Chains A and B, each alone.
Chain A
Amino acid sequence: MLGYTDKIKEISERLLKEGKVDMVIGFKKGTMPMMNEPCVIKKAEDAGKLVWDSNCGINLANYLTDRKEKIGIIAKGCDSRNIATHIVENKIRRDQLVIIGVPCKGMIDRHKIASMSETEILSVTDAGDEIIVKAEDSEKTLKKAEVLQKNCAVCTHRNPVIYDELVADLVEEQKDADRYADVREIEAMSAEEKWKYFDDLLAPCIRCYACRNACPLCYCPTCFVDESRPQWVGKSTDPMDTRTFHFLRAYHCAGRCTDCGSCERACPAGINIRVLTKKLEKDCFESYGWEAGLTTEDRPPLDTYKLNDPEDFIK
């Protein structure tokens, strides 16, 4: 990881010094363990602040929306796919960007690691394929593969899909990952069981909208949850209002979600909200052969149609 960080610093410094970009968006060390913070570097001498390790789970494409400057951006696989989505949706232009690609081996699940320790965690550091977790009264070494974020464990696009610079050699993609095992499990339930499953799943939700704010796809000037005339979605934490919110949030990401896991990572209640977005991802793949963010040439599935699209559910 140290090699990654050095290379990121070197490239960022060079880009800023040569005036190729006005700013670089990357990560700096956070004030809390497992929470690296996104940061914007505007001067070459500040490039030393940039870091890279297994705690860079936030999706940086979120900070590109409607920017006018020339921007260098650090992008792992999922970030690059969201950058592609941003370009397709005219939220940024390709020629404004210098994409610094980071071949990624997955980010670690902060909720999982926090739940493994009874005392407060003081630091979490990378050591090759292992993660060293220091808590108040103990020190543990964990296998990184066992504490990966759930989306990273089944990720099939670890390498950036578009990039101008690379910080390391491309990594091997995971080929035998079963991406939709959890979705199929829910699909097999009866309507009754499904209803119960989502009741339990969404019960801890406090409607803080952290999932929405962390998501690079959520950039509407007025979000549907803030609309008041007419008010389509109730604003309370009534179970139906919460459910409607999660339904529509996922639906808005249909055919756009890259399963970067930012929503789940941001959730203070640790809700596995990805089961909703993944269902739509699966449907888009199966019905329309679409995977989001792999190209800037094609239109996303809800912005196009085929004459022979499946319609057996229509009378």
Chain B
Amino acid sequence: MDRAEKTGLTFAIILLLVFFSLIVYAAKGLKIDIPTCVTDVEPFQEGKLIKHGEKRYELHILARMWFFDFNKGATEIKIPAGSTVDIFVTSKDVVHGVHIQGTDFNIMAIPGTVGYMRVKFEKPGVYHVVCHEFCGVGHHAMQGKIIVE
């Protein structure tokens, strides 16, 4: 290996290590983490929005062919701005994907499993939710809305 090659290689390794350290810092230091294995909540059969307190909610999203059940069949829910919501997701049938647009909430809904992430809705507005995983002929109409007031 000549000198230029060694310099190039070292630079590449350092660059990748810097990137990776930043990711680990964001995940563990700033707590921007991705879904993990949930073993204590069983898959549910119905969507539910539970109010635990002032601006504290728990949301069970049931994804199914071809709509999101946010709360007993409703595909639209309203919550006050500044709410912190613990969101659980499962699927009734096939694999779906749930992306609450404008937030980091992006999770797969896989039958037999439960996904979990926490979201804080600071800004008021309409948060669109679209299914982004192919789930059948109705896929392109599978969506919902979270209205933050």
Q: Do A and B bind each other?
A: no
